[in-house]
A and B are shown apart, each in its own frame.
Chain A
């Protein structure tokens, strides 16, 4: 091949470990790049392949090892921490969605799925609920599908997965109780769902969803595939988000001026975590989903764990710490004014519709509010009521409203909105069971 442009006859030079003035050339590539009329030497295919193989082998191995290290780190964090990226509980729950199909059709028990946020995860005990219902003469088997940090934009993807799981199957689920948390549906809250949104899309989408995404946004589709296949469902943003949390929390804490320091925790929280992990080997870490406890936690634990729990909860309920928690919830979720995002309501409605395609009956539950600490404004209550009206009008669901009745005080909460793992969880689950037992008995009569 003849060309008017050529610069060298060193095409066939063997790659060398000599330094070859690399830095100089990077700085001044004009050097020795003259246009000449010479015959170009044929390419040395063998040499090209040799260098290619070197690159693929060493470069590829390095990238692969780096990915393995990242995945190893993720696995380690998952084992040692409590739901560190929020996605692990969603991932494992999604794999268990078809659990109702394993229950024989002639089993007389009512199958109940309870879906929602961390309020359900920490506040609903399938064991307590089922025991109450069984004692009330309504044999029931219930499952906890609540997970932390998820808002309706995440729930809707989970519910879509649920609907797909049951597509073409008999309606084996008798009831889905979907928890609606108003402060999880505000504009402020919506702004924070970014990284979990990507992770849940990666984990809960079907391959055809991702294929469709490939047509409209190839970059996003590849990123989803990458997260799903090579990062255990944990995008880099989730890790950055986790690492930045101490700074964000410090910023939020510092937002309240001249405030006394709360009672020190003295590492008791981690002592309790490790004790519970040894007491409940099937249920820990909290990020997972245990078949044995149907997604919840056991109703009780060892005396040491109970003792630790009492002390941890007491210190968590310290007024200074509660105020800090309240401020954080106001900052992140507009907890008092409740300016609800219409997109979130649309997602709630779609979630319910998916649920309705699966279960014979779908209800919404509003979990109890920490009324000693949180006083929703009048405008907030109006916003909330309006959102609920919209949801009911669109879906026709019943509402089980435990928001303010009965009055629950701070002794049932370990922070501004989460229930203590023994007393609070038992109380809230019993309140739910009472409502459903009453309603089931009334229907039977």
Chain B
């Protein structure tokens, strides 16, 4: 069940009516949330409901053990390691098994050996990377003493399986959302309107993203050689597609949650207006980058002991691996890690300080373009099928090809660039004036009406969101 589908509209409408009008007892509402979330999840594959509940139950119990042993560091750590092993084990089995097996086989082959490892045909449970990270962060927070272990499995399950963010994030932490689920605050009408505005904008961004699928597919999947111009069109279209798709999904998730009285953090902050790769990772998929910072980078030692570069690089490589079980994603993570490390190094050099700190609009524009160019260089790894194809695409981007430019390529490029800019400008307007608009109802409702009309007119119902695969 995806947000931009008719079935979700009816699902959420029914849920909302029950949530607001029928159930008034806190416990019954929690039951309603759990059952609805499991139904929402089960529409993909109901077999994996068990995995989700198991994951929640395991971390719920382990966190209690961690807390019970808070005065025994060794035992406490053992329980934490159990939780991490369990969560990473689930990911290894369901997401990374074939990647690991295939890599072992290739590694042995590299040294002239031969080993035939049968690959497993296991379906990837949708959203597994999101909810295992969320579940794991709960145990780590309890271990660190950042929160108390919660008593009440149902509420914990409601938190972990909260349907707006269950399958594609944002990645929440229990300490952010659990108290809100328990408190069950009634949202203000302002928050309801803010939620609906986000839903409308998210749906429009998703529609824009779907419209980019053509040029992206032409550049990445076309059987024929693609011209340099169309390769760039496809790569820019992918920037627009992945941003519109994922930030659109996040906006809808935040909006839906807000209508239920739950705050979810902003997950994107105009990433393509970033002025450096470091800035980019503060603006793109914020819930993942902050998760990695708090639970991985800091655990690796952070910027202590002069190992900041190593820790950053490792964190980014693992961020790549989080996105997918393939060497292209690992390479993508390594590339991003390298960019972040190099940017930090340059920032540390006195000679560049003037440039990096300049607020001049011309310098800012150049920094934005250079940063986006560096991001675009990574798309062949992120979206490409294998390293060889990514390499070929990289060459096509920079060495003019003999392939003929197809008719209408100029129009398509213009539409792609317009789409990319419009999505960002709309978001910039929302971030800057969203609250003011939401307060001015005489303006708010007509804009909402126009937005929903636009979506119903051209919105491509039922197209999957890209980040579901992660």
Contact = CB atoms under 8 A, between A and B. Distances in A.
Nearest to A224: B6
Nearest to B192: A55
Interface in A209-235: 218-223, 225-226, 231, 235
Contacts of B7: 218-219, 221-223
Contact of A254 (B6, B43, B407, B439): B407
A307 B97 CA distance: 73
Given A29-B265, A43-B26, A59-B192, A23 B458 contact: no
B460 interface: yes
A255 interface: yes
A8 B185 contact: yes
A3 B155 contact: yes
A23 B266 CA distance: 9
A30 interface: yes
Interface string B389-425: 0000000000000000011100110010000000000
Interface stretch (A140-148, A237-245, A337-345): A237-245
A65 interface: yes
B179 A6 contact: yes
Contacts of B263: 25-26, 29
A28 B290 CA distance: 12
Given A16-B190, A219-B43, A240-B458, A4 B150 contact: yes
A202 to B, nearest CB: 11
Contact of B411 (A13, A35, A70, A250): A250
B457 A73 contact: yes
Contact of A17 (B259, B408, B439, B459): B439
B435 A22 contact: yes
Contacts of B259: 55
Nearest to A45: B24
B186 A235 contact: no
Nearest to A34: B179
Interface in A29-52: 29-30, 33-35, 40, 42-45, 47-49, 51-52
Interface in A49-101: 49, 51-56, 58-59, 62-63, 65-67, 69-70, 73
Contacts of B194: 22, 26
Nearest to A70: B456
Given A22-B435, A33-B176, A254-B407, A7 B183 contact: yes
A67 B456 contact: yes
A18 interface: yes
Contacts of B438: 22
B449 A65 contact: yes
A239 B188 contact: no
Contacts of A226: 6, 9, 461
A5 interface: yes
A70 B265 contact: no
Contacts of B147: 35
Contacts of A243: 458
A11 B175 CA distance: 19
Contacts of B25: 43
Given A49-B20, A70-B457, A247 B178 contact: no
A15 interface: yes
A30 B152 CA distance: 21
Nearest to A32: B179
Interface secondary structure of B, over-half rule: helix
Contacts of A247: 408, 411-412, 415
B185 A10 contact: yes
Interface string B1-41: 11001110110000011011100111101000000000000
B387 to A, nearest CB: 30
Given A6-B183, A25-B263, A218-B7, A66 B452 contact: yes
Contacts of B254: 26
Given A44-B186, A236-B456, A251-B407, A66 B148 contact: no
Contact of B187 (A4, A26, A51): A51
Contacts of A48: 20-21, 24, 186
Contacts of A292: none
Interface size class of B (residues with CB under 8 A): 35 or more
B334 interface: no
A254 B455 CA distance: 31
Nearest to A46: B24
B153 interface: no
A19 B440 CA distance: 11
Contacts of B406: 251, 255
A100 B407 CA distance: 49
Nearest to B20: A52
A279 interface: no
A252 interface: yes
A222 B5 contact: yes
B192 A5 contact: no
| Residue with the highest number of chain A CB atoms closer than 10 Å, among B185, B254, B412, B434 | B185
A199 to B, nearest CB: 12
Given A6-B179, A15-B186, A49 B26 contact: no
B264 interface: yes
Contacts of A218: 1, 7, 43
Given A11-B185, A35-B179, A40-B183, A222 B10 contact: yes
Contacts of A20: 188, 190-191
Nearest to A254: B407
A16 B192 CA distance: 11
A17 B444 CA distance: 14
A253 interface: yes
Contacts of B461: 223, 226, 235-237
A219 B152 CA distance: 34
Contacts of B152: 3-5
Contact of B16 (A23, A55, A254): A55
A240 B460 contact: yes
Contacts of B217: none
Contacts of A69: 449, 453
B180 interface: yes
Contacts of A231: 456
B21 A49 contact: yes
A219 to B, nearest CB: 5
B448 interface: yes
B151 interface: yes
A324 B305 CA distance: 70
A49 to B, nearest CB: 6
A242 to B, nearest CB: 10
Nearest to A49: B21
A25 B254 CA distance: 11
Contacts of B149: 4
A256 B175 CA distance: 62
A19 B190 contact: yes
B189 interface: yes
A1 interface: yes
B184 interface: yes
Interface string B436-456: 001100000100110011011
A10 B185 CA distance: 7
A7 B182 CA distance: 8
B462 interface: yes
A5 B178 contact: yes
B180 A33 contact: yes
A5 B20 contact: no
A3 B408 CA distance: 63
6 contacts: A8-B185, A33-B180, A52-B19, A62-B449, A69-B453, A237-B460
Interface of B: 1-2, 5-7, 9-10, 16-17, 19-21, 24-27, 29, 43, 147-152, 155, 175-176, 178-180, 182-192, 194, 196, 211, 254, 259, 263-266, 406-408, 411-412, 415, 431, 434-435, 438-439, 445, 448-449, 452-453, 455-462
The 5 closest A-B pairs by CB, nearest first: A52-B20, A254-B407, A251-B408, A222-B7, A226-B6
Given A30-B176, A55-B16, 14 more contacts: A5-B155, A5-B182, A7-B179, A15-B186, A20-B190, A30-B175, A33-B175, A47-B186, A58-B445, A62-B452, A65-B453, A69-B453, A231-B456, A236-B461
